[in-house]
Amino acid sequence: MKELAKILGGKGGVLAVLVVLLLAAVPAAAQKKDKKKQQSPSELAPDPKNLPPVSDTQAVDLVIGQSLGYWQIGDLDSLHKYYADDVVVVTGDWSPPLLGWDNYAKAYQAQRARVIGGRMDRTNTFIKVDGNVAWATYQFYYVTSLDNKMSESRGHSTLILSKRGDRWLIVLNHSSIVESMPASPVPAADSPQPGHP
């Protein structure tokens, strides 16, 4: 470095060499950063072939969770990935069962047009798998704005799923809504009954 400084004329020459070296290094670093930016999200995601396999019970639970997510945000195309074309849907109100995906999709869109926002919480899920058939039951709590009024629903859902190829599809979705009114307490066995001392 001292010899280079003598050739270039002292400290100013060394400074000039350092500036030249730094300027040469900046484009190389920028190129490395650009290569990282150009990777697509799928390139950064883990390869599914390298992930540990999930059990059928875990796969069914994932189907339920993802389908409820798409149901909540109103993504009908993504929701259809989890429902069979020959699905039967029994809603919590007193309407006839909906036979087939097309009928369910129409009813869902009509309901969705009346809803603003909303959140569905799922609890107490139980899943049983037997070969290529599974059933699941869970409790739900749903709160939303329906026709510009706050609406709450609590209930139970039971799903029957069928494994078709390598995918689990919902073939029956049955929901029951439980009234929101608090129930009267049941008197204890040793408490006096009405009309008796």
Q: List per-block mean pLDDT (blocks of 10 residues) for the chain, which spans 197 residues.
A: 48 44 46 51 57 89 96 94 98 93 96 89 97 97 89 95 96 90 54 53
Contacts of 148 (CB under 8 A, 6+ apart): 116
Partners of residue 89 on adjacent β-strands: 98, 173
Please give the mean pLDDT across all residues of the chain.
Answer: 79
Distance CA 58, CA 66 (A): 12
Tokens 């189907």 sit at which residue?
63
Q: Which domains does the chain have, with CATH numbers?
A: 2-37 (no CATH), 55-178 (3.10.450.50)
Identify the pLDDT of residue 158. Answer: 98
Stated pTM of the model = 0.66
**First CA to last CA across the chain, in angstroms?**
110
Identify the pLDDT of residue 47. Answer: 62
Tokens 């019970």 sit at which residue?
57
Q: Please state, in angstroms and as integers, the Cα–Cα distance from residue 93 to each residue in 70, 73, 125, 178, following that order.
A: 22, 22, 22, 10
Identify the pLDDT of residue 180. Answer: 60
Helix (H, G, I), strand (E, B) or coil at 71: helix
Under 8 Å between Cβ of 84 and 102: no
